[in-house]
Structures are given as structure tokens and as C-alpha cells.
Amino acid sequence: MHIESLSPSQFDAAITLWHDAGLTRPWNDPLDDLRRAMAGPASTVLAGTDNGQLLATAMVGHDGHRGWVYYVAVRPDRRGHGHGRAIMRACETWLTARDIPKIDLMVRTENDSVLAFYHAIGYGRDEVFVMSKRLR
């Protein structure tokens, strides 16, 4: 799998993948999220492809102190082949190249298989609460 920043021609495929992976929510427009990430100087969306076919994505960015990862997705028919590990390694490399010392991500508490995946690749649970406020 080849990993590089998502191209505009892959936007629709990425959004379809996010829908198929169950990552989208009605209150977040994935196209708006994607456009903001691609336009920002401290973020991107990484795309894992094979023969031009989009297999995996991860939105990665940082605030200068901490990196964040969102929209990590692997095509359902390509799971279990190391693509999730590879896209997360690419996120870690992207952040390390920008001298960011920590990476965080959020997983819904009921998503046991995803929690197990992140645990298997070295991620641990922090004893913090994520709090939020919708601004629109």
C-alpha cells in the first residue's frame, strides 16, 4: 500500500469509505472536515492506495503540542492485512517529522474491536475525559 496526502480526486472515495466504516455522524459534514484538514498548514488527510484504489485513510493534524488522528478507516474487505497499522504508522511519522511529541485519538467507548486494534499497536488509555461544546 502506498501512502501520501489525499488528492482532491479522491475526496468522494474517502467520504464513501468513512460512511462505510461508520465514522460519519449527522452533525459533522465529512466534506467540510476534509476540506478544512487539507487547507490547514498543520493537518492533512493521508490516503493508502493500491493500484489507484483507496484502501485506507487517516486525518492527522496538530496544535503545536499534541497530534490528533481522526477518520482512520480501512475498507472492510481489506481489514486484517496490516493497512490500519500502516496508516497509523504514517500518521506517527508525519507528526514526528513536525516535532510533535504525542499523538491522541478518540474511540467511542462501545467500539471494542477498534479499542483492541489500538491497544495491539501500542496505544493506551489516558485517564482523562474528553469534553466538548458544539459551536454550530
The one-character DSSP state at 74 is: E
Half-sphere exposure of 15 (CA within 13 A, CB side): 14
Q: Residue 22 pairs with which residues in a beta bridge?
A: none
Question: How far apart, in whole angstroms, are the C-alpha atoms of residue 91 and residue 100?
Answer: 11
With H, G, I as helix, E, B as strand and everything else as coil, classify residue 133: coil
pLDDT tens, residue by residue, 18-65: 999 999 999 989 999 999 999 999 999 999 999 999 999 999 999 999
Res 129 pLDDT > 90: no
The three cell numbers of residue 90 are 504514517
Question: pTM (2 decimals)?
Answer: 0.92
SS3 49: strand
The closest alpha carbon to 50, from 88, 10, 15, belongs to 10
Which domains, from first to last, does the chain contain? 2-106 (3.40.630.30)
